[in-house]
Amino acid sequence: MTVPVIAAGGVGDGRGLAAALALGASGVQMGTRFICTSECTAHANYKEAIVKANERGTMVTGASMGHPVRCLRNAMARELEELERRGASEAELVAFGTGRLRLAVQEGDVLRGSMMAGQIAGLVHDVLPAAKVVHGVVAQAERVLAALPSHIVGS
């Protein structure tokens, strides 16, 4: 029995897809890239914040509770980080974070909302239809995979 492996995390373009396939994955799951599609119902401010992010634009919060979450750096994430650093209780952290994702996704509050996004946020430069994202990712992966034999020494 063969169990398909789906790679998730850190994949935002065709290079990531090609790498995952080269390592034996059957496919990939992409989250952050698909937030920035026209079909996604996330608020335009949230999408724009991802588009503006660079390769250092994310941070991890929630590790002190055993539930690390990567998100865009903003006032809310920095405040949560400070609460964790000071040793706030899990109840305090949960109370602080409750409703914050809704603030970002539905209301577009990019300062006080939790803008969950992967480390690949710096690879996202536009909001496109999902079909265009898929076609672009697949085309780039095909080019990368086609070029791989030229990188093998001794063939």
What's the length of the chain?
155
With cut-offs at 50, 70 and 90, classify the pLDDT of residue 153: confident
- Average pLDDT of span 132-149: 96
**CA dist., res. 30 & res. 16, Å (int):** 10
- Residue 103 sits at φ, ψ, to 5 deg, of -55, -40
**CA dist., res. 143 & res. 64, Å (int):** 42
At residue 155, does pLDDT exceed 60? no
Question: Which structural domains are found in the chain, ordered by start?
Answer: 6-147 (3.20.20.70)
Return the pLDDT at 75.
97
CA atoms 106, 10, 53, 128: torsion sign = negative
The mean of the pLDDT values for the chain is 95
Q: Which amino acid is at 104?
A: A
Q: Is 154 helix (H, G, I), strand (E, B) or coil?
A: coil
At residue 119, does pLDDT exceed 80? yes
The beta strands (E) that lie in the chain are given as 6-8, 27-29, 58-61, 69-72
Q: Cite the DSSP H helix spans in the chain.
A: 14-22, 32-35, 44-52, 75-85, 90-97, 100-105, 130-147
For helices 75-85 and 90-97, the axis angle rounded to 10 degrees is 170
- Distances in Å between the alpha carbon of 75 and those of 36, 80, 87? 22, 9, 19
With cut-offs at 50, 70 and 90, classify the pLDDT of residue 1: confident
Return the pLDDT at 95.
96
123 bridge partner residues: none
